[in-house]
């Protein structure tokens, strides 16, 4: 059973550390965030490393510390844009006067400032500096500019300072930072749950230049992944070839064919509580793609195709399947086909939409009929984003019901 009592469970937090004596408190902050269930990655500025060792932060966060924009190894593990998307909160503690000035100016001259510009996550700053610096109108100005951009300032506190002076400028204690986050970041209905989502079409290669594809844009699957993340879930999105931005807080794996999609799903399904198959997976693929470009001969061409693996049915047939949600696109007899798939593939829910009359594929709006074995929900035509949130509410409610009824 998932422990949902911890308010930051499943939250993805980047802790940024800039140069200042208060950096000695940052490992404690990381530890506390993790105790509350958050996943934490640490980004340090160059001057921060003069105050505290990256190794300490690596040990307390359980992950390699990100330090440089152009660090090949770190970029290969998780690039800075990926990290910016991964985060749902960025907490910079301590935030030095210099860093605050660079953020206020919108500079992107190191990894931390670039990440702040590139993220859609909420940003929190815990300033720390000498009291006279804190009182300087230039600093006050910069803080006002940041606050007007919805950056939240925490502190500073008053008290004795490292420089021997007394007054405001101390970084607030890690406990107070965590409390501020807990007050705002409410756990969602799916906090602490892991989901795997498939989206987009698959392309099945005929030869090195041609493939069998379909018109799925991937938008519905991406919207579902985003809505699951908004509900607090950790989400991995296995995406076929699409031109879409990854929703904030979602981890993405790109694949091309049904075979690759199945492999990516099976490699990640194990710790998942839910699987939502939105991808329009090809039903058939060439038995053997040609190694060289197929040349025209003027004669009819017969292609030999074999069925693709059914990813959804494979997951639902696992010995301990997660909560499984399928999609169905139908031109007619929507309910009977959808219910048939629900039974045949042993799904918990199926979301069916009508296609072929200008709705469904390649458009922003959609409507869904959602069926479980004994319930039916009708979701009226609306944007795919709103629709995805409505579907995720049903998923969360049904998962909870299933959990409560399982001894
Ligand atoms: N699906 C899958 N793997 C496949 C085919 C489909 O995971 N190889 C999933 C889709 O992601 C979707 C659901 O199964 O969730 C669609 O079911 P399916 O029976 O394949 O629908 P259609 O392709 O529309 O089938 P039919 O032609 O029988 O209507």
Which of 312, 330, 343, 352, when mutated, tests ligand 1's pocket best, judged by the most ligand atoms within 8 Å of its CB? 312
* Ligand 1, CB within 6 Å, residue ranges: 198, 258, 277-279, 281, 283, 308-312, 326-329, 341
| Minimum mean pLDDT range among 180-184, 220-224, 246-250 | 246-250
236 is catalytic: no
What was the pLDDT predicted at 363? 67
Calculate mean pLDDT across residues 9-27: 94
First to last CA, the chain: 11
Number of neighbouring beta carbons within 10 Å of residue 256: 17
Q: How confident is the model at residue 359 (pLDDT cuts 50, 70, 90)?
A: low
What was the pLDDT predicted at 360? 54
On the question of pLDDT at 358 being above 80, the answer is no
Number of neighbouring beta carbons within 10 Å of residue 168: 15
Contacts of 340 (CB under 8 A, 6+ apart): none
CA distances from 233 to 143, 218, 310, 348, 352 (A): 33, 20, 25, 18, 23
How many angstroms does the Cα of residue 281 sit away from the middle of ligand 1? 6
Higher per-residue pLDDT: 330 or 23: 23
pTM of the model: 0.69
Q: How confident is the model at residue 242 (pLDDT cuts 50, 70, 90)?
A: very high
Percentage of the chain modeled with pLDDT above 70 = 96
Number of neighbouring beta carbons within 10 Å of residue 7: 20
| Minimum mean pLDDT range among 18-32, 245-259, 355-369, 376-390 | 355-369
pLDDT digits (tens, 9 = 90+) for 280-300: 999 999 999 999 999 999 999
On the question of pLDDT at 187 being above 80, the answer is no
| Minimum mean pLDDT range among 4-8, 271-275, 344-348, 368-372 | 4-8
On the question of pLDDT at 124 being above 60, the answer is yes
Residue 88 token pair? 């749902």
Q: In order of start, what are the domains of the chain with their CATH numbers?
A: 12-185 (3.40.50.1950), 194-290+297-405 (3.40.50.10300)
Q: How confident is the model at residue 357 (pLDDT cuts 50, 70, 90)?
A: low
Q: Provide the strand spans (E) within 163-265.
A: 166-170, 194-199, 204-205, 211-212, 234-239, 250-254
């Amino acid at each position: 059973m998932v422990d949902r009592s911890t308010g930051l469970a499943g939250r993805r937090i980047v802790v940024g550390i800039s140069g200042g004596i208060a950096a000695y408190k940052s490992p404690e902050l990381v530890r506390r965030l993790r105790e509350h269930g958050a996943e934490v990655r640490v980004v340090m500025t160059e001057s921060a490393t003069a105050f505290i060792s990256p190794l300490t932060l690596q040990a307390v966060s359980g992950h390699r510390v990100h330090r440089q924009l152009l660090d090949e190894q770190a970029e290969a593990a998780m690039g800075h844009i990926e990290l910016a998307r991964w985060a749902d909160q960025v907490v910079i503690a301590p935030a030095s006067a210099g860093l605050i000035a660079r953020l206020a100016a919108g500079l992107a001259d190191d990894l931390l400032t670039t990440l702040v510009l590139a993220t859609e996550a909420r940003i929190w700053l815990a300033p720390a500096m000498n009291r006279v610096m804190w009182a300087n109108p230039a600093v006050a100005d910069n803080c006002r500019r940041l606050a007007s951009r919805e950056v939240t300032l925490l502190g500073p506190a008053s008290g004795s300072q490292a420089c021997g002076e007394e007054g405001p400028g101390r970084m607030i204690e890690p406990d107070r930072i965590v409390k501020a986050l807990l007050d705002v970041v409410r756990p969602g209905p799916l906090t602490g749950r892991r989901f795997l989502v498939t989206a987009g079409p698959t392309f099945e290669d005929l030869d090195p230049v041609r493939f069998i594809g379909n018109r799925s844009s991937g938008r519905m699957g991406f919207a579902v992944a985003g809505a699951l993340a908004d509900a607090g879930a950790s989400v991995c999105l296995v995406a076929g070839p699409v031109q879409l931005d990854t929703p904030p807080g979602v981890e993405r794996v790109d694949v091309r064919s049904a075979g690759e999609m199945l492999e990516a799903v099976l490699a990640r399904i194990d710790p998942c509580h839910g699987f939502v198959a939105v991808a329009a997976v090809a039903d058939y693929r060439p038995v053997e793609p040609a190694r060289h470009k197929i040349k025209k001969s003027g004669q009819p061409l017969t292609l030999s195709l074999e069925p693709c693996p059914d990813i959804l049915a494979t997951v639902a047939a696992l010995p301990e399947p997660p909560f499984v949600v399928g999609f169905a696109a139908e031109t007619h007899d929507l309910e009977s086909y959808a219910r048939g798939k629900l039974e045949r593939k042993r799904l918990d829910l199926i979301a069916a939409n009508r296609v072929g009359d200008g709705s469904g594929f390649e458009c922003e709006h959609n409507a869904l009929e959602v069926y479980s074995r004994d319930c039916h929900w009708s979701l009226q035509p609306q944007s795919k984003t709103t629709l995805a949130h409505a579907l995720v509410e049903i998923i969360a409610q049904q998962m909870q019901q299933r959990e409560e009824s399982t001894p």
